[in-house]
């Protein structure tokens, strides 16, 4: 029997790329049942995998206000930081809730100054004192004017992508906390992102509200960023005592299937009070159900990305 190589392309398929030169590393001989390695390919594949694993950019988006975008960005980032991942949060919302919720203050190097070219991403990054793996580019009130300023720039939808390219490989994950609008700022976030997390509040007509954000993601995918994927829908503010909440979760799962995170975030007072202490809930009350569930989500997120 002639020796054949079976292409073992899980990682490559997942990325959606095909590397002819690197494919040998993923070949198995049907005669010897052993992988075929070449050192040159190993080096090549390592740099490829590093590019894949490092710096995944994830947006937190939903045009509906108050559904848990910022709470999720902060607490998922904190959970991942505890699990030894380097995470950068980019606060792209003029409300600056992620900035204040993590105890940071805005200064003159922020998301706005990066977008308009007055600062670079690297020089705008601040490190959390309590969680050394957690970093932030703060928001500023000037972001209110960003849409106007961006419109007069070339490649206005690609500004944030270009800004983050400088630091993409310095982090395991970069999270962009979007505002509750689907304007040019959120479009910049989606264009820069590899995936998007859509928090969905467990309330009446939850599915109805998703049409706009899904349309925007589809439009971004077809015209500006073909690589973008939905990382997951996250059910938030779940109250197990309410029959409606259970029905909503079931309905969203029926509709979106495996795209809905298994972890459901409960309504929890510790989650809502933590930002006033400038802390993620894990540092505010590690024993709370909010902390437990966001840590659970962090592990699920890592499993999905391993």
Ligand X SMILES: Nc1ncnc2c1ncn2[C@@H]1O[C@H](COP(=O)(O)OP(=O)(O)OP(=O)(O)O)[C@@H](O)[C@H]1O
Please compute, for residue 194, the number of CA atoms within 13 A of its CA located in the half-sphere on the CB side. 19
**Exposure string over 91-103, b if 16+ CB within 10 A, otherwise e:** bbbbbbbbbbbbb
DSSP output for 171-187:
-SEEEEEE-SS-SHHHH
Among residues 142, 81, 135, 139, which one has the least CA distance to residue 105? 139
Query: Which residue lies nearer to ligand X by CB, 96 or 191?
Result: 96
Per the CB < 8 A criterion, the answer to whether 28 and 143 are in contact is: no
In this complex, which beta carbon is closest to ligand X, that of residue 115 or of residue 245? 245
Residue 71: name its binding partner from ligand X, Mg ion, none (Cβ under 5 to 8 Å by kind): ligand X
CB of 58 to Mg ion, least distance (A): 15
**Half-sphere exposure (Cβ direction) of 247: Cα atoms closer than 13 Å:** 7
- Tell me if 115 sits within 8 A of 66, measured CB to CB: no
Please state the closest distance from residue 171 (CB atom) to ligand X, in A: 21
When the beta carbons of 25 and 80 are compared against ligand X, the nearer one is: 80
**Taking every pair of C-alpha atoms in the chain, what is the biggest distance, in angstroms?**
70
Residues constituting the chain? 306
The listed partner (Mg ion, ligand X, none) that binds 283, CB under 5 to 8 Å by sort, is none
CB of 125 to Mg ion, least distance (A): 20
The distance of closest approach from Cβ of residue 71 to ligand X in the complex, given in angstroms and rounded to an integer, is 3
Instruction: Tell the smallest beta-carbon distance from residue 271 to ligand X (Å).
Output: 4
Nearer to ligand X, 71 or 157 (CB): 71
Instruction: Give dist(CA 302, CA 36) in Å, integer.
Output: 28
Q: By C-beta, is 95 or 120 nearer to ligand X? A: 95
Residues 49-88, interacting with Mg ion (CB under 5 A): 69-70
Indicate the residue among 69 and 279 with the shorter CB distance to ligand X. Answer: 69
**Closest distance to ligand X from the beta carbon of 276 (Å):** 9
Give the binding range for Mg ion (CB under 5 A) out of 33-41, 94-102, 226-234, 262-270.
Answer: 94-102
Q: Are 61 and 198 in contact (CB under 8 A)?
A: yes
Residue in 159, 166, 188, 162 with CA at minimum distance from that of residue 176:
188
Answer for the pair 175, 168: CB distance below 8 angstroms, yes or no.
Answer: no
Please give the residue ranges that form the binding site for ligand X (CB under 6 A). Answer: 65-71, 93, 95, 97, 179-180, 236-237, 265, 267-268, 271-272, 275
Binding site partner of 272, from Mg ion, ligand X, none, Cβ cut-off 5-8 A by kind: ligand X
267 binds, among ligand X, Mg ion, none (CB under 5 to 8 A by kind): ligand X
Min dist CB 27 to ligand X, Å, is 46
Pairing assessment for the beta strands 27-29 and 5-7 based on DSSP bridges? antiparallel
Ranges within 95-134 binding Mg ion (CB under 5 A): 97
- Looking at beta carbons only, is 268 or 305 nearer to ligand X? 268
Closer residue to ligand X, CB minimum distance, 95 or 292: 95
Residue 153 burial (CB count, 10 A): 13
Name residues whose C-beta falls within 8 Å of residue 103's C-beta, 6 or more positions apart in sequence. Answer: 128, 277, 278, 279
Out of ligand X, Mg ion, none, what residue 67 binds, judged by CB under 5 to 8 A for its kind, is ligand X
Residue closest to Mg ion when measured from CB atoms: 70
Q: Closest approach of Cβ 77 to ligand X, in Å?
A: 13
Contacts to Mg ion by CB under 5 A: 69-70, 97
């Amino acid at each position: 029997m002639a020796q054949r190589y079976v292409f073992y392309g899980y990682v490559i398929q997942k990325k959606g790329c095909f590397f002819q030169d690197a494919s040998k590393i993923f070949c198995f001989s049907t005669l010897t049942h052993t992988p075929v390695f070449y050192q040159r390919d190993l080096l090549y594949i390592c740099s490829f995998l590093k590019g894949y694993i490092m710096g995944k950019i994830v947006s937190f988006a939903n045009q509906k206000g108050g559904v848990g975008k910022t709470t999720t960005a902060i607490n998922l980032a904190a959970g991942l930081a505890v699990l030894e991942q380097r995470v950068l949060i980019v606060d792209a919302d003029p409300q600056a809730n992620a900035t204040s919720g993590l105890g940071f203050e805005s200064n003159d190097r922020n998301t706005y100054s990066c977008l308009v070219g007055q600062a670079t991403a690297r020089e705008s990054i601040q490190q959390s004192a309590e969680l050394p793996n957690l970093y932030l580019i703060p928001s500023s009130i000037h972001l209110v004017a960003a849409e106007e300023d961006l419109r007069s720039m070339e490649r206005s939808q690609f500004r944030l992508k270009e800004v983050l390219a400088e630091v993409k490989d310095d982090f395991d994950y970069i999270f962009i906390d979007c505002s509750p609008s689907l304007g040019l700022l959120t479009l910049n976030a989606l264009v820069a992102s590899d995936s998007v997390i859509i928090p969905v509040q467990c309330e009446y007509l939850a599915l109805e509200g998703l049409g706009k954000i899904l349309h925007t993601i589809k439009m971004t995918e077809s015209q500006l960023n073909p690589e973008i994927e939905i990382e997951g829908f996250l059910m938030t503010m779940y109250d197990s005592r309410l029959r409606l909440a259970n029905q909503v979760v079931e309905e969203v799962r029926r509709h979106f299937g495996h795209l809905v995170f298994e972890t459901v975030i409960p309504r929890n007072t510790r989650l809502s009070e933590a930002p006033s202490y400038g802390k993620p809930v894990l540092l505010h009350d590690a024993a709370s159900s909010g902390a437990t569930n966001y840590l659970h989500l962090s592990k699920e997120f890592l499993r999905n990305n391993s």
